[in-house]
A and B are shown apart, each in its own frame.
Chain A
């Protein structure tokens, strides 16, 4: 036990001291901050969008549309009145004006209210938010215009246009939680990202560490004093501890950022956006959720780390390891590829199956757990299957590792591997 501790300690300290760890730990929060700050800063630019309205309508529709567009605050409309015969010429002329300070123009004729077709020409056509704003405003304007033509009272039109929001609340164990649907989705997504990255990242760290010991031949000295199992166990636990420390730092920073998001937005000079952010529903992370997450992280990490260690023991260099790791990485990618399917239907056959198969369950089950309530029986079953597989895989990996770390030269074939397992 003391030997395992020594191996673990060395692994932990050496890993924490690497540039990789320091950069990764700092870079994580910077990326998080960037992900939050960038859209806010970007949002700032859209208020300066200048959009022309080439107005060939006859009944004042263009004026009303410009007024509505002005109200959104994100686009600055500029009305250019034109008669229908001159329309094309003016459009060609305006197209030449498109550039900085004039982002594009929308062409409005009476036909818009009749057949619902309008055209936008501009350099920002790929900007999702700009097009969203313009088309939503246009849709509303056309809707009101059509009713107005039919003689409906503008006040009634106004009331008819009050939008409908569907608030979603998750029901768990027969009780309505404060968690909204969006929040659940967000949580599930975050779980997936964290688990996938963490298991892959730290699994590969274990692999690298085994390859290093093998290529530098340190392993010869180590196995003269340690059982291969002691070495492997110490290594996996040591790297895992690094992982938990790093994720802890990230999680702590993430929580700080969410708690202080208003302050953060103010610092970025976006007071309004800050208030808006404060209103965004955030997932309630219960203690059970944290336990589920950690359980699956630990089991999943052990499972994959032992497979990565076995792969590393079979090869002679980093390059070889990078090739040989592919099958293991593929296993981990499966739930990622099928993520959308799991999220769309967390109780579907696919989601349930993936959350029971031991190689996919470490990611699939926590994602399901976050997205929708999961029965205790399924959770227990999933953990039991994963645990049993883990024991089996560690045994196999341990055998391969034991022989492999002392073998140099050709990579073993299947027959050779079988001999190792028997030996």
Chain B
């Protein structure tokens, strides 16, 4: 895994009539990584990906792919793109559409046929090779689109909301395939608003909201820097004095306390040991004291705000 970025976005801004979709966004996707572009709906994820693909042009800023010039169209042989708005020719047969889409990315029809058949088998669509797209379920069509994205063995795969609309089984198949691609050296950039997907998959993430970058970096680094310190504390027989300690504003910035059990977030630079010491001194019997790693979900909510989080919760219910 080399560290030179495959995608380098620098100070990119895109305005549409009336609003700014993306505001001076910079990010860089390291080669061979799985990179998540996260954010609530309307944050500018798709716009960013479309600019990376050269479908729309940024008003300001610069995007470099593979460290050089040329946009997604020119480099389409090296890139696979799965757009958010997915469509296929309804009347075409599955294998033929795959061959056509590979052909416009520079793969010969013969090679495309072999690989297409192989991929269809692999994703459980072996019986559907000669069926028309119209006869496929939505989930199957999505798989066909995914195959079209990776059929030409691209070095970079850009997936816009790849898990949207998939059932849990197919969602898992998709995750496994993405991991497999990355193991094979393919760089994967994908967008999602579902943090669980990102948490399990990504080596690095960038969270954006309302067109602006909130944070970015490697997963561990993000958790370390932005997660704050989370504590899970359980005590036997909590009382007023322990309550006071668990709510001490000089140490605890936020608490979710149930008397005997509490999830705490500490203020920056606070030492968890101070808290433990105070509890012991107050005579509390501590049965659990755990410095927890924050989830991406918590970081996301912390940074993007509760408003976005509620919007997101309803989204998840839909999906």
Contacts and interface: CB of A to CB of B under 8 A. Distances in A.
B145 A221 contact: yes
B285 interface: no
B102 to A, nearest CB: 9
Contact of B73 (A6, A217, A225): A225
Interface string B86-102: 11111110000000110
A14 B55 contact: no
B48 to A, nearest CB: 14
B76 A14 contact: no
Interface string A213-226: 10011111111111
A223 B105 CA distance: 11
B83 A220 contact: yes
A10 B100 contact: yes
B105 A217 contact: no
Given A3-B104, A6-B100, A224 B53 contact: yes
Interface in B48-103: 53-56, 72-73, 76, 79, 81-92, 100-101, 103
Contacts of B148: 221
B106 interface: yes
Main SS at interface, chain B:
loop
Given A6-B100, A6-B103, A224-B76, A218 B55 contact: no
Nearest to A10: B100
A212 interface: yes
B106 A217 contact: no
A226 B100 contact: no
B73 A223 contact: yes
A227 interface: yes
A2 interface: yes
Interface residues of B, number: 28
Nearest to B57: A423
A56 interface: no
Contacts of B85: 217, 220
A221 B148 CA distance: 9
Contacts of A2: 103, 106
B121 to A, nearest CB: 22
Interface string A1-30: 011001100100010001000000000000
Contacts of B104: 3, 6-7, 222, 225-226
Contacts of A7: 104
A218 B90 CA distance: 10
A224 B91 contact: no
A224 B56 contact: no
Interface in A168-212: 212
A216 B89 contact: yes
A376 B230 CA distance: 89
A225 B152 CA distance: 12
Contact of A224 (B72, B89, B145): B72
Contact of B92 (A14, A221, A224): A14
Interface string B31-57: 000000000000000000000011110
Contacts of A14: 89, 91-92
Contacts of A227: 73
Contact of A406 (B55, B73, B81, B105): B55
A7 B97 CA distance: 11
A410 to B, nearest CB: 10
Nearest to A234: B104
B56 to A, nearest CB: 7
B97 to A, nearest CB: 9
Contacts of B89: 14, 212-213, 216, 218
Contacts of A406: 55-56
Nearest to B133: A216
A393 B217 CA distance: 49
B159 to A, nearest CB: 12
A217 B83 CA distance: 9
A226 B55 CA distance: 10
A218 B100 contact: no
A216 B86 CA distance: 8
A220 B76 contact: no
A14 B181 CA distance: 33
For A18, A220, A225, the residue with the greatest tally of chain B CB atoms inside 10 Å of its CB is: A225
Given A6-B100, A6-B103, A10-B100, A223 B55 contact: yes
A216 B101 contact: no
A308 B56 CA distance: 23
A224 B103 contact: no
B72 A216 contact: no
Interface string A225-244: 11100000000000000000
Interface in A108-156: none
Contacts of B76: 224-226
13 contacts: A3-B104, A6-B100, A6-B103, A14-B92, A216-B88, A218-B88, A220-B85, A220-B87, A221-B81, A221-B87, A224-B54, A224-B55, A226-B73
Interface of B: 53-56, 72-73, 76, 79, 81-92, 100-101, 103-106, 145, 148
Given A10-B100, A220-B85, A220-B87, 7 more contacts: A6-B103, A216-B88, A219-B87, A220-B84, A221-B145, A224-B79, A225-B81
Interface of A: 2-3, 6-7, 10, 14, 18, 212-213, 216-227, 406
